[in-house]
Amino acid sequence: MKIKFSRELQIGTLVIVTIAILYFGINYLKGINIFNPTNYYYVKLEQVNGLVASNPVTIKGYKIGLVKSINYNYDSHEDDIVIVLQVDDQLKIPVGSKAVLKTELLGGASMSLDLQSVIPGVYYKKGDTIPAVIDGGIMTTVTTEIMPRVQSIVPQLDSLITSLRMITDDNSIEQSLGNIKRLTANLESSSVSLNSMMKKDLPVILSNVNTITTDFSKLSKDLSQVDFNATMLSLNHTLSNLQLISDRINNGEGSIGLLINDKSFYNNLNSTMESANNLLLDLKSNPKRYVHFSLFGKSDKK
């Protein structure tokens, strides 16, 4: 016998199945495994720093649960924010552990558990409140340590930028750059000229150097063939002769010795020069005594 279901029953069944699928799907997307038993713990904080429901709860980076809900008391603004943590049923949290709220660098926050056992064998029960601390992370370091240093550096940067602006506005910088450009062009031209000279003149110079080196080599060879002993003997003999002649002159021997050492010759030569000088003076003063000249013939001499 075939059983027939009414249209209303079919629609109701479809709605129930759809709601079940939607429930399981939403929880699956949130990371909630409804088939795995869980425990609930509470955490109270003054601020959550961007923490939202369904954020994972980790221990040493391993996910052991998630943030079930975040409850804010709108009636009393002084109360802390209550965070409900849903963790695996197998997890036992020792008394003395802490829930750490860490602020991320790019925004948002994460929740982790720092397990510390104060009393061995004693654990928090389901529904207990776990003490919580806030770890600012890198943002706290930036705010408390880096930002004060940056604020102290900003005035110096301002003065530095002002000085750089004054330097860049100075016309001498442009002139210096122009001079550097011209100097670079001159150096490039000099480099081209030097390269040309190295290609053209350097081979000729090296050829001349080689020729000179060859000539020096020949000269050295010729000098090595000279009999220096005979040359030195001849030179010593010549010097001995010159010494002998000098001694003979000093001793008054020969004509040159008599001429140099005889005082009467000097006196006679001095007297002759004096007489010649007097004769020239008289000739200059009375030329007619010595020279007779007439354009119209010879006249009688008185």
- In the chain, what are the domain boundaries? 36-135
Query: Is the pLDDT confidence value at 199 over 90?
Result: no
Q: What are the strands, taking DSSP E only, across the chain?
A: 38-45, 56-59, 62-71, 81-88, 98-103, 109-114, 129-130, 132-135
44 DSSP β-pair partners: 82
pLDDT digits (tens, 9 = 90+) for 237-292: 888 888 888 877 777 666 666 666 667 777 777 888 888 888 888 888 887 777 66
Question: Model pTM greater than 0.75?
Answer: no
Percent of the chain with pLDDT over 70: 80
Q: Are strands 109-114 and 56-59 parallel, antiparallel or unpaired?
A: parallel
Q: What is the dihedral of CA 129, 122, 67, 61, to 10 degrees?
A: 140
Q: Does the CA dihedral 219-220-226-232 come out positive or negative?
A: positive
pLDDT digits (tens, 9 = 90+) for 114-137: 999 888 889 999 889 999 988 866
Query: How many CB atoms neighbour CB 86 within 10 A?
Result: 19
Supply the pLDDT for residue 43.
93
Judge contact between 265 and 258, C-beta under 8 A.
Answer: yes
85 DSSP β-pair partners: 41, 67
Confidence class of residue 8 from pLDDT cuts 50, 70 and 90? confident
Supply the pLDDT for residue 131.
92
- How far apart, in Å, do the first and last CA atoms of the chain sit? 207
The token pair at 65 is 């649960």
